[in-house]
Amino acid sequence: MNNQTIIARIPRAFAPLLTEHWRIKFYYGGRGGGKSYAFADSLLIKGRMQKLVIACLREVQDSIKDSVYRLLCDRIAFYQLNDYQIRETKIENKITGTQFIFKGLRDQDIQKIKSLEGVDIAWIEEGQSISKKSWDILSPTIRKDGSEIWISMNREEENDPLWILLAAAPDERTLVRRVNYDDNPFCPEELKLQAEKCRKEAPDDYMHIWLGQPLVQGAAKLIAPQMVRRAFEAKISSTDSPLIIGLDIARFGDDRTVFCFRRGRWCLKFETLNKQDIVSIANYCQGIIADYAPARIFLDAGGVGGGVYDILASRGFRDIIRAVNFGAKAILEERYANRRAEMWNNAAVWLNQELPVQLPPDEDLLNELCSVNKKYDARGRLLLESKEDVKKRLGRSPDKADAFVLTFAEPVYDLGKTKTFGRGHVVIEDMFAEVGESKW
């Protein structure tokens, strides 16, 4: 079989595999895009034209059966490429001397991987499973002049390491192409029918499996509705945890100013205010301080909130009020992309803990709390989807939920009161209960 016949069967999107030189050729997409076939066929052709060392790599390869060895054998048989000789652990071209070798990266230490230094083309199949560690070892090892690294993958998550390292912001030596089943003229009818069925019945799955989009992580939502409903059932009748107030201040248009009252594991109530000028909001807040003597008020300092803070600070409430900026650096900077993600996650933890927990039953609150999708940034830190996107979906601003999460800006400890347990004397069980209590 001559090469032209094989080339004629490679979908157009894959032409650069044969005709262009790039340090990295990064192909990604959904099921049935033709990636594996096109990579195999292109490499077989290249190996017939000149002597090459081609390494077929994946993260884990317990046996050669896990590799693309089988696919290459099938393609060799299909095209009757008698110049290729199939051996137990490698494939060789009798005429050019090209060799295909097969390796799993996870078990390669620096010594073993040295054998890859003469490689002309490395094909990384299932690129979504490659760890950053494997990439960091591999990338400098493929060092021969003119060598190329070909990557095929179906994206798994938003922060698949190779996606972040290579494709999210490709450099000038990297080709990034998305190919899906509808780019593959050889996609079998059966696969197309399956794709169509999936598109109708499970659109989210369709986007992931067939269009190559990453899974929205952890079933997308930060807070599950059943956890909020659980908190709607009254379980707590009293608490002596300090009162913390979250204050989400109206910005533009029809947003409301919302106060959220929380003591420990009991979120007591919300108060909303439709006034928008900073003096009225500050006055109202001062009234709340007088009536309830909260240990702390965390207020949203973005927008007009900064003005409310200044007024209250100038009136002597600096000890009680704290300005919080949703976009600022998180306290646990290595885990959260910003304060907003950190506070929302603290609130989610509070809701998900097994200890009794209580929220005022309020469907608006439920919708708002469950409206926010999780995302992760390039460093794998929690980053929520933008407030604009949440607003679009919800049709309004989630200001009750924001007031509520503000109460989780920082833990507030009540250091002023001495605790007595039981009837004025220490009861062991109560002490354990106290130790087991969360910081929220």
Ligand X SMILES: Nc1ncnc2c1ncn2[C@@H]1O[C@H](COP(=O)(O)OP(=O)(O)OP(=O)(O)O)[C@@H](O)[C@H]1O
Minimum Å distance from CB 201 to ligand X? 19
What mask, x for binding Mg ion by CB under 5 A, covers residues 31 to 60? -----x------------------------
- Rounded CA-CA distance 242/367 in Å is 27
Which of 157, 362 has the CB closer to ligand X? 157
Q: Compute how many residues bind Mg ion; rule: CB under 5 A.
A: 1
Q: Which does 147 bind (CB under 5 to 8 A by kind): Mg ion, ligand X, none?
A: none
Which of 121, 228 has the CB closer to ligand X? 121
Contact range with Mg ion by CB under 5 A, out of 30-38, 97-105, 161-169, 261-269: 30-38
Q: Which does 180 bind (CB under 5 to 8 A by kind): ligand X, Mg ion, none?
A: none
Q: Which does 187 bind (CB under 5 to 8 A by kind): Mg ion, ligand X, none?
A: ligand X
Could you say whether residue 141 binds Mg ion (CB under 5 A)?
no
- Rounded CA-CA distance 67/248 in Å is 55
Tokens 């070892």 belong to residue: 137
Tokens 């990384």 belong to residue: 124
- Rounded CA-CA distance 55/99 in Å is 8
Minimum Å distance from CB 37 to ligand X? 3
Which of 31, 340 has the CB closer to Mg ion? 31
Minimum Å distance from CB 32 to Mg ion? 8
CA 363 from chain centre, in angstroms, equals: 28
What are the CB-based long-range contacts (under 8 Å, 24+) for 385-388? Answer: 387/340
Q: Which does 342 bind (CB under 5 to 8 A by kind): Mg ion, ligand X, none?
A: none
**Please, what sign has the CA dihedral across residues 287, 292, 295, 297?**
negative
Contact in structure between 95 and 108 (CB atoms under 8 Å)? no
Which of 211, 231 has the CB closer to Mg ion? 211
Which of 39, 376 has the CB closer to Mg ion? 39
With CA atoms as reference, report the closest residue to 370 among 348, 388, 343.
Answer: 348
Minimum Å distance from CB 269 to ligand X? 52
Minimum Å distance from CB 105 to Mg ion? 18
Contact range with Mg ion by CB under 5 A, out of 28-36, 107-115, 227-235, 302-310: 28-36
Which of 33, 398 has the CB closer to ligand X? 33
378 CB neighbour count, 10 Å cutoff: 14
Which of 125, 368 has the CB closer to ligand X? 125
Question: Interface residues with ligand X (CB under 6 A)?
Answer: 9-10, 31-37, 41, 154, 184, 186-188
Residues near Mg ion (CB under 5 A) are: 36
